[in-house]
Amino acid sequence: MGSHLETKLKAVIESITDGVYMTDANGTCIACNYAFKRLTGINIDLVGKHVSYLLDHNLISEAVTVETIATRRHVSKVIKYPSGCEALVTGNPVFDKNGRLISVVSIVKDLTELNALKDELNKSKGLAQQYMETLKSFNAPLNISSGGFIIRDAKMQRVLDVIQRVSDSDVTVMIYGESGVGKGMIADLIHTQSHRASQPFVKVDCGAIPAALLESELFGYERGAFTGARQEGKLGLFELADHGTLFLDEIGELPISLQVKLLTVLQDRRILRVGGTKPIPIDVRILCATNRNLEQMVTEGSFRSDLYYRLNVVPLNILPLRERKEDILVLTVSFLDKACQKYHRTTKIVPEVMDCFLEYAWPGNVRELENTVERLVVLDQDGLITLEDLPEKVRFHLEHSIPQASSPARRVVSLKTAVAATERQLIELALQQHPTLAAVADALGIDLSTLLRKSKRYGIRRAEVLAKLQ
């Protein structure tokens, strides 16, 4: 029975991937597994030999076992072995039911891979810092307005040139652009650069207010105008914006009935409150914005042509982020700095993440980019944002944008993309053909830390690769 248990114990010890070195209470070795010999480079039979044998023959520089026996406590030390392996060695005392020390079990955990990853992380942080500094000095992006409207794209600079020319006039401006491109910031910029900057800037979202309430919100109402109205009546947004600027966001959502009344206000520069009989003069500059095609709406009859031409005096087209790639870089740097200051972090972004940002379509435009960067900073744990930290939809886009190297090319791709596809394929092939990571790195002609970094970058997991073979 004893022999059977001994066989089972030996099998258990050999199945452990960390090194195991066991002694009795006096320090004489009673068992050690193959992993211990492999990690330490000590390839002799140690069973029956006292731990002092290892010290006397300079096989180890210090013995955790000796200190564990002396203190009767757990002892942990980092030791470098003749094999070159740096390991965390933990001595664990084992007591019988009477509290007598009967053995010491030392566990040897290889730190080589951990140290390689740590060095790679520090190197990546350094490179990321250099990259971010380079971006910040990249022709000094134009930064305009207290709202932080930042651009680098040449087409957008032309838009800002127009803004600077029209800001100080009272001309009506129509701002076109997808949701999230910063139409509100453009309107605010026009107002702050105008002679009305010290007067009110009032924004109304025409699509967010129910049609039944929109008229009274815009024009106000007199006392007793309708059931539930305030006794004293109410000023409308036009009156609140008097001498300032009224920004009508999502103007394409304005009902036809109100389009007529708005046209009258633009022509007469007077408003009539709901339930009122006396027109009230107003001095308001009108700015509008929409993500819809107003010209098509005019053709379809859902937007009045006379109002369209009244509002569309100076049209500004704000490009989506996917069409102004240079802005993605400078905006990311700006949003990263902003989030780091807000949450007291020192987070960096690796260049590969920037590459991914440039490839992603950003359907939510600037707003989505800012929210993404802020989320990455909040969730960051080690001060470095890598591809693995990206939201799944962004990473999914990247993974599916890399073609398989073995498939015939259907379109021209960048050399960087093609190299990435080939690297991924070669790493997966090597993992299938070689039993250890060290052997895989050897076959590929790279060091272990480079293999680990590239595997992490491409999301390659050995278990998943091997599962495909089964």
Taking the domains of the chain in order of start, what are their residue ranges? 2-110, 111-144+324-401, 154-318, 415-467
Question: What gap in Å lies between CA 457 and CA 424, rounded to an integer?
Answer: 9
pLDDT interval class at 56 (50, 70, 90) = confident
- Between 215 and 154, the more confident residue is 215
Q: Out of 295-304, 391-400, 417-426, which region has the weakest mean confidence (pLDDT)?
A: 391-400
Q: For residues 216 and 236, is the Cβ–Cβ distance under 8 A?
A: yes
- For the domain spanning 111-144+324-401, the CATH number is 1.10.8.60
pLDDT interval class at 348 (50, 70, 90) = confident
Q: What's the pLDDT at 467?
A: 57
pLDDT interval class at 450 (50, 70, 90) = confident
- Between 188 and 388, the more confident residue is 188
Q: What is the 3-state secondary structure (H, E, C) of 218-270?
A: HHCECCCCCCCCCCCCECCHHHHCCCCEEEEECHHHCCHHHHHHHHHHHHHCE
Q: What is the per-residue pLDDT across 112-140, written as a single tens digit (0 to 9) for each?
A: 666 665 665 566 556 556 555 555 554 44
Q: Is the sign of the CA dihedral 140, 144, 146, 148 positive or negative?
A: negative
- For the domain spanning 154-318, the CATH number is 3.40.50.300
Question: What gap in Å lies between CA 385 and CA 90, rounded to an integer?
Answer: 33
Question: What gap in Å lies between CA 450 and CA 116, rounded to an integer?
Answer: 9
2-110 homologous superfamily: PAS domain (3.30.450.20)
How far apart, in Å, are the Cα atoms of 366 and each of 158, 178, 371? 19, 10, 9
pLDDT interval class at 339 (50, 70, 90) = very high
How far apart, in Å, are the Cα atoms of 409 and each of 413, 435, 437? 9, 33, 31
Read off the pTM: 0.58
Q: What is the per-residue pLDDT across 151-210, written as a single tens digit (0 to 9) for each?
A: 777 788 888 889 989 998 999 999 999 999 989 999 999 999 999 999 999 999 998 888
Mean pLDDT rounded to a whole number for the chain: 82
- Between 247 and 413, the more confident residue is 247
Provide the percentage of residues in the chain whose pLDDT is more than 70: 82
pLDDT interval class at 106 (50, 70, 90) = very high
Q: What is the per-residue pLDDT across 287-325, written as a single tens digit (0 to 9) for each?
A: 999 999 999 999 999 999 999 999 999 999 999 998 888
Q: What's the pLDDT at 125?
A: 59
| Domains 2-110 and 154-318 fall in the same CATH topology | no
Q: What tokens appear for 285 in the block?
A: 């500059």
Backbone phi, psi, residue 221, to 5° = -150, 160
- Between 36 and 230, the more confident residue is 36
Buried b (16+ CB within 10 A) or exposed e, 61-91: eebbbbebbeeeeebeeebebebebebbbbb
- Between 95 and 409, the more confident residue is 95
pLDDT interval class at 228 (50, 70, 90) = low
How far apart, in Å, are the Cα atoms of 346 and each of 133, 241, 340, 353? 13, 42, 6, 17
Q: What's the pLDDT at 138?
A: 46
Q: What's the pLDDT at 405?
A: 46
Q: Is 90 exceeded by the pLDDT of residue 438?
A: no
Q: What tokens appear for 401 in the block?
A: 């944008």
Q: What's the pLDDT at 330?
A: 82
Angle at 24 between CA 22 and CA 29, to 5 degrees: 50
Q: What's the pLDDT at 57?
A: 85
Q: What's the pLDDT at 305?
A: 95
Q: What's the pLDDT at 187?
A: 94
Q: Is 50 exceeded by the pLDDT of residue 146?
A: no
